[in-house]
Amino acid sequence: MALITATAALMPLSAFADRFKDVEISVTPVSDKVYMLQGSGGNIGLLATQEGLLLVDDQYAPLAEKIEKAMKNIVDQPLKYVVNTHYHGDHTGSNSYFSEQAPIFAHTNVRKRIANDSKRSEKDLPVVTYQQGVTIHLADEKVVLTHLPSGHTDSDTIVYFKKANVLHTGDLFFELGFPYVDTKGGGNVDGYVKNVKYMIKNFPDDVKVIPGHGKLTDKAGLQSFVTMIEDCAKLVKQQLAEGKTEAEILARGVDEKYKHLSWRFITEERWLKTLIAAYK
């Protein structure tokens, strides 16, 4: 998601930093060694072992030291690896800070898109890239990184902690509301749906799920999410086939049971416009 990233360039650095001065990093244990950290931006996954730490996503640069403190409060060991689930600034904003400590792993398109952003530096770039995926072994945990085709973006990776049975979905899952499909960043709605179904099909029924945004959940949460997307898409397709205009589709809105999923970044109107653009 790029909510604050898009506006950051329009304000002085001090003002940007001030937006985060009151943000606190909360820690939610997910398993014996895996934690979810939340502050501002995408959810962070953390593998904390006596042999070192592995970080999945790192939010915004002004939060880097707070994130580091929260990590060290869990296990005071060196950071060994950083993983970016995709290129958006609310997931990669602290890359330049943590790259001084550990190599950053990401899909090749993450490196390409960050490199093409004039506001980012060499220190923001992943140094280990892959096309399909890679597995990282740390202590007794196997961390499986899998690239999924264009969905949220064209750079998406999901991260599975095999022993802990924990899946970090990146922004292929918005537990809190309607999803953001970054079409300018290579994403598309149909690919998004396929990727969520892939996660439902290919991981254990009792898997614990860290979403890109929202609270810790499970496979039932993933299923409800993809059902919502498909229901909304079906409704929009039907109306387009009937010759309805964008204004008429927006006036009709989503089904009542999904209206509560509108949120400040992806409102009901923005979600519907995404679907209209996808299927018109």
Asked if residue 110 is part of any domain, the answer here is: yes
Model confidence over 184-227: pLDDT tens digits? 999 999 999 999 999 999 999 999 999 999 999 999 999 999 99
CATH (domain of 34) = 3.60.15.10
Distances 127 to 3, 47, 102, 138, 261 between C-alpha atoms, Å: 26, 20, 10, 18, 37
| 261 within domain boundaries | no
Q: Which domain holds residue 54?
A: 5-218
pLDDT at res. 63: 98
Q: pLDDT tens digits, residue range 144-186?
A: 999 999 999 999 999 999 999 999 999 999 999 999 999 999 9
| Total of domains in the chain | 1
For residue 273, is it within any domain?
Answer: no
Locus of tokens 């970044």: 265
Does 279 reside within a domain? no
Q: Has residue 144 been placed in a domain?
A: yes
264 falls within a domain = no
Q: Which segments in the chain show pLDDT lower than 70?
A: 1-17
User: Is 129 part of any domain?
Assistant: yes
pTM (global) more than 0.75: yes
Q: Is residue 29 part of a domain?
A: yes
